[in-house]
Structure formats: C-alpha cells, structure tokens
C-alpha cells in the first residue's frame, strides 16, 4: 500500500475530507517512522504490537527488522444497543442452586 492509497482509504472510512485527512496521515507516518527509527516498541491496536528485532546501518540508509504481532479478532457478535431489557441476558440464573426438581 502506498501513501496515496492509505489516505484515500482513511477518507473513505472516516468520511472526512481529503484535505483534512492528508496532513494527519502524514504526521502519523512521521511519528511512527521516528519511533521505529529510535528503536521504540509500539503497541497500537488493532495494528498490533511492533518490536524491533535488529537494525543495521548501511551506506544508503538503515535496515530495521521488526516483528509485528497481531491479536486474533474476537468472534463476539455485536451487541444491539436498542435491545429491550427482556432481550438482554439475565444476571441471575433462573433456578437457585438449592432448588431441586
């Protein structure tokens, strides 16, 4: 993914104007680049946890090897915010432990 595609995707998902999204995305990329260049560990969900394994200075720049760990997405269904009280799960069980049939 290139920067232009990233900006277009952010505009599409957020609904903000491209002229507003572009400086924010560019600033975010600069901050991330500086943090990675400094060897800092990043924990940015849902992106994941990024850790620097090693870095090496070359004649034309720096090579940084990173490890990115992403959590598995949870399989919980979204809650209905408009559910009536009867549709919400009960906090107390229907039968008490000492009730026998």
> Is residue 52 within 8 Å of 65, Cβ to Cβ?
yes
Residue 92 has pLDDT above 80, yes or no: no
Helix (H) or strand (E) segment spanning residue 42: strand 42-44
State the pTM of this model: 0.64
**Residue 60 structure tokens:** 């034309």
**Residue 7 structure tokens:** 């900006």
Question: In the chain, what percentage of residues exceed pLDDT 90?
Answer: 68
**Residue 79 structure tokens:** 């809650």
Q: How many angstroms separate the CA atoms of 58 and 52, rounded?
A: 17
pLDDT at 73: 77
**CATH architecture assignment, domain 3-69:** Irregular (4.10)
């Amino acid at each position: 993914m290139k920067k232009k595609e990233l900006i277009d995707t952010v505009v599409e998902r957020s609904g903000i104007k491209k002229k507003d999204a572009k400086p924010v995305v560019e600033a975010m990329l600069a901050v991330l680049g500086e943090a990675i260049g400094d060897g800092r560990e990043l924990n940015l969900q849902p992106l994941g946890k990024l850790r620097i394994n090693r870095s090496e200075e070359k004649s034309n720049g720096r090579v940084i090897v990173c490890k990115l760990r992403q959590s598995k997405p949870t399989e919980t269904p979204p809650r209905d915010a408009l559910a009536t009280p009867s549709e919400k799960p009960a906090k107390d069980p229907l039968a008490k432990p000492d009730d026998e049939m």
